[in-house]
């Protein structure tokens, strides 16, 4: 059973210690990764989620992943990294290459959920969109509203979001409550709202390859 | 920082007032900063002294605490907003009274990137340091950058990007400058959260600037070096 989002944010998720292959994932992907493992009965995959709060500190991601690989390399046949570039400016990719571990392609999870090629095409006309995934909709206050200081200084909203035009909720699941929460989040940011169902996108493809 | 409920700015000595303005900038108190600026001007301070001793010195403290992880982006934005209020009063006065000019900069975020918080901070701090800044805003194509360079003939081109997907565009701009034989005419500074020094070197920029304070110091050094070379 998965820990709650607060635990995934602060502490992540430790591996079970069973399985031949380890996936090192962002805590913000824990629900999706575990859902795919359940759906596909990939019992030989084990998962270590790093704290989702690293999303807010991209400069710490590369070292955290490298440390995790070092900690677990001897325990598994293979390790795969379920982080996109995530604002590391190519440093995570370079580190993964150096360590000889595979990493999912893409600039961030919004891109691989949508499909990297499609996302890149959309981005040409959609660079004024602000994206949320299921996790980020659930944790909107913890990952967007409070870290930006908007709970205390709502007057900063337009300094952050003045150039954005819409909020795109990339839905991994069909959940009317999340849809409504995402809509409310868009309203709080003063943005138009669009929901796009992406499912698990290229996350599923990458995990399928990792499982084989 | 300060318990300013009972502080009447106009009753403070110059020295106390400047220190209080540093506190007020730190706390992002725009109204108080505007009041402090007006008081100092009324007391006969030159606009340049108000700018450097009250505002820039205060923002330097904010910048250092941001770099050291004591302050975070929201607090820096509030401080910047307060400084902007003071700058709005000083700008026309600076034009009238004259102030040392350090050089000229054209700056903007690259094509596809709308994130301008860092760029705006750099613009403001560069102006505070005596640079003339032409801010091209967001989402700038190579053509727009080059047009501005040719029209304005600045010392420095500044480019900013927040996204991994947009930062490679800086190289497009620099490569085009090389193709046109104009790269060596300008100092090129780059910045933005996902960038690093290696990236700056790899794309052919003169320097990567980690934050606004570093941008100002780097700009000063490069401009001084450029002027020395011209005078040699």
B27 touches chain A (CB under 8 A): no
Same domain, A14 and A99: yes
Do residue B196 and residue A127 have CB atoms under 8 angstroms apart?
no
A117 shares a domain with A41: no
Residues in contact with B185: Cβ distance below 8 Å, sequence separation at least 6, in sequence order = B149
User: What is the reported pLDDT for B101?
Assistant: 84
- The mean pLDDT value for A110-134 works out to 94
Instruction: Reply yes or no on whether the pLDDT at B4 is more than 60.
Output: no
Q: Are residues A69 and A95 in the same domain?
A: yes
In angstroms, rounded to a whole number, what is the distance separating the alpha carbons of residues A31 and B164?
Answer: 26
Give mean pLDDT, residues B35-63.
95
**CA distance linking residue B36 with residue B30, whole number of Å:** 10
Are residues A181 and A207 located together in one domain of the fold?
no
Average pLDDT in the B125-144 region? 94
pLDDT, position B62: 94
User: What mean pLDDT comes out for the span A91-120?
Assistant: 96
Q: Does A152 contact chain B (CB < 8 Å)? A: yes
Q: Is B99's pLDDT higher than 80?
A: no
Tokens of B124: 């403001």
pLDDT at B232 over 70: no
Residue A56 above 80 pLDDT?
yes
Q: What is the pLDDT of residue B118?
A: 93
> Which pLDDT score, from 0 to 100, does residue B214 have?
93
Contact B196 A85 (CB under 8 A): no
Which positions in chain A touch B73 (Cβ < 8 Å)? Answer: 148-149
**Integer distance in angstroms from the first to the last C-alpha of chain B?**
48
Confidence of residue B1 (pLDDT cuts 50, 70, 90): low
Tell me: do A56 and A29 sit in the same domain: yes
Q: Do B77 and A120 touch (CB under 8 A)?
A: no
Which of A130, A159, A189, A191 has the most B C-beta neighbours within 10 Å, making it the best mutation to test the interface with B?
A159
Q: Are B23 and B4 spatial neighbours (Cβ–Cβ below 8 Å)?
A: yes
- Within this chain, do residues A96 and A50 fall inside the same structural domain, yes or no? yes
Are residues A20 and A91 both part of a single domain?
yes
Q: Taking 60 as the threshold, does the pLDDT of residue B103 lie above it?
A: yes
Residue among A134, A146, A140, A148 at smallest CA distance from A187 = A140
B117 touches chain A (CB under 8 A): yes
Identify whether residues A184 and A126 lie together within a single domain: yes
Q: Are residues A81 and A120 in the same domain?
A: no
Report the DSSP pairing between strands B103-109 and B131-135: parallel
Order the strands of the A21-26 sheet from edge to edge. Answer: A45-50, A21-26, A78-82, A102-103
Are the beta carbons of A37 and A61 closer than 8 angstroms?
no
Q: What is the pLDDT of residues A133-157, one digit of tens each?
A: 999 999 999 999 999 999 999 999 9
> Is A68 in the same domain as A12?
yes
Q: Which tokens is B122 given?
A: 């750099």
Q: Which residue of B has its CA nearest to A147?
A: B74
Coil, strand or helix at B198: helix
Nearest to B169 by CA among B123, B148, B138, B127: B138
Lowest mean per-residue pLDDT among A35-44, A64-73, B95-104: B95-104
Q: Are A148 and A173 in contact (CB under 8 A)?
A: no
Q: Do residue A82 and residue A136 come from a single domain?
A: no
Structural domains of chain B sorted by starting position, each given as residue range(s) with its CATH number in brackets: 9-97 (1.10.1240.10), 103-231 (3.40.50.280)
**Which chain A residues touch B114 with a CB distance below 8 Å?**
127-128, 163-164
3 state DSSP class of B10: helix
Inspect the interface and report whether the beta carbons of A58 and B194 lie closer than 8 Å: yes
Which chain B residues are closer than 8 Å to A123 by Cβ?
A: 112, 165
Rounded Cα distance, A202 and B24, in Å = 49
Contact status of A41 with chain B (Cβ, < 8 Å) = no
**Residues in contact with A25: Cβ distance below 8 Å, sequence separation at least 6, in sequence order:** A33, A47, A48, A49, A50, A81, A82, A83
Q: Is B37:B9 a contact under the CB 8 Å cutoff? A: no
- pLDDT value of residue A49: 96
Q: What percent of chain A has pLDDT over 70?
A: 100
The residue ranges of DSSP E strands in chain B, in sequence order, are 103-109, 131-135, 156-160, 187-191, 207-208
Give the model's pLDDT for residue B100. 78
Strand order from edge to edge, sheet including A129-132: A129-132, A166-171, A192-197
Contact residues on chain B for A164, CB-CB shorter than 8 A: 114
The predicted structure's pLDDT at residue B112: 94
- A107 part of contact set with chain B, CB < 8 Å: yes
Q: How many cross-chain Cβ pairs, A to B, lie less than 8 Å apart?
A: 57
Q: Which CATH number goes with the domain that contains A62?
A: 3.40.50
Name beta bridge partners: B87.
none
Domain count, chain A: 2
pLDDT at B5: 65
pLDDT the model gives residue A133: 96
Local confidence band at B31 (pLDDT 50, 70, 90 cut-offs)? very high
Q: What are the chain A neighbours of B139 within 8 Å (beta carbons)?
A: 127
pLDDT value of position B117: 93
**Calpha distance A133→B72 (Å, rounded):** 25
Cβ-defined contact of B73 to A149 (cutoff 8 Å): yes
Query: In chain B, which residues have their Cβ closer than 8 Å to the Cβ of A150?
Result: 74
Q: Which of B139, B193, B199 sits opposite A87 (nearest CB)?
A: B193
Three-class SS of residue B207? strand
Chosen for mutation from B29, B79, B110, B194 (greatest number of chain A CBs closer than 10 Å) is: B194
Q: What is the pLDDT of residues A64-104, one digit of tens each?
A: 999 999 999 999 999 999 999 999 989 999 999 999 999 99
Other CB atoms within a 10 A radius of the CB of residue B11 amount to 9
Domain housing A169 = 111-197
Q: pLDDT value at position A123?
A: 85
**Chain B contacts in chain A segment 58-87 (CB below 8 A):** 58, 85, 87
* pLDDT for B3: 54
How far is B75 from chain A, CA to nearest CA, in Å? 8
Query: Contacts of residue B196 in chain A, CB cutoff 8 Å?
Result: 89, 91
Same domain, A98 and A23: yes
């Amino acid at each position: 059973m998965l820990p709650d989002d607060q635990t995934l944010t602060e502490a992540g998720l430790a591996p079970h210690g069973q399985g031949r292959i380890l996936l090192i994932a962002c805590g913000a992907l824990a629900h999706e990764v575990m859902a795919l493992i359940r759906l596909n009965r990939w019992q030989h995959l084990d998962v270590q989620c790093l704290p989702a709060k690293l999303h807010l500190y991209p400069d710490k991601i590369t070292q955290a992943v490298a440390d995790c690989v070092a900690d677990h390399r001897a325990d598994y046949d293979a390790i795969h990294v379920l982080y996109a570039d995530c604002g590391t400016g190519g440093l995570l990719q370079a580190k993964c290459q150096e360590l000889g571990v595979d990493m999912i392609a893409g600039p961030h999870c919004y891109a691989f959920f949508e499909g990297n090629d499609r996302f890149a095409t959309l981005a040409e006309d959609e660079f004024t969109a602000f994206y949320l995934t299921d996790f980020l909709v659930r944790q909107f206050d913890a990952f967007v509203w409070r870290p930006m200081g908007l709970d205390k200084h709502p007057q900063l909203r337009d300094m952050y979001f003045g150039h954005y035009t819409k909020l795109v909720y990339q839905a991994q699941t069909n959940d009317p409550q999340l849809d409504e929460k995402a809509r409310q989040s868009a309203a709080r940011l003063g943005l138009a709202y669009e929901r796009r169902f992406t499912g698990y996108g290229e996350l599923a493809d990458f995990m399928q390859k990792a499982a084989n | 920082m300060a318990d300013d409920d009972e502080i009447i700015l106009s009753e403070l000595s110059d020295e106390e007032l400047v220190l209080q303005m540093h506190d007020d900038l730190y706390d992002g108190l725009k109204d108080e900063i505007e009041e402090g600026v007006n008081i100092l001007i009324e007391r006969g301070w030159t606009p340049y002294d108000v700018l450097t001793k009250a505002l820039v010195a205060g923002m330097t403290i904010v910048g250092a605490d941001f770099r050291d992880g004591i302050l975070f982006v929201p607090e820096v934005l509030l401080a910047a907003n307060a400084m902007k209020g003071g700058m709005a009063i000083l700008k026309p006065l600076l034009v009238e009274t004259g102030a040392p000019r350090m050089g000229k900069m054209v700056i903007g975020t690259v094509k596809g990137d709308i994130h301008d918080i860092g760029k705006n901070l750099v613009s403001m701090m560069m102006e505070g340091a005596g640079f003339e800044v032409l801010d091209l805003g967001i989402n700038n194509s190579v053509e727009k950058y080059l047009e501005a360079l040719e029209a304005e003939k600045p010392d420095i081109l500044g480019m900013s990007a927040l996204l991994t997907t947009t930062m490679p565009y800086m190289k497009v701009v620099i490569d085009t400058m090389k193709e046109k034989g104009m790269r060596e005419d300008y100092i090129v500074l780059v910045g933005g959260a996902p960038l690093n020094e290696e990236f700056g070197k790899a794309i052919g920029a003169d320097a990567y600037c980690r934050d606004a304070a570093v941008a100002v110091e780097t700009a000063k050094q490069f401009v001084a070096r450029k002027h020395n070379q011209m005078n040699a």
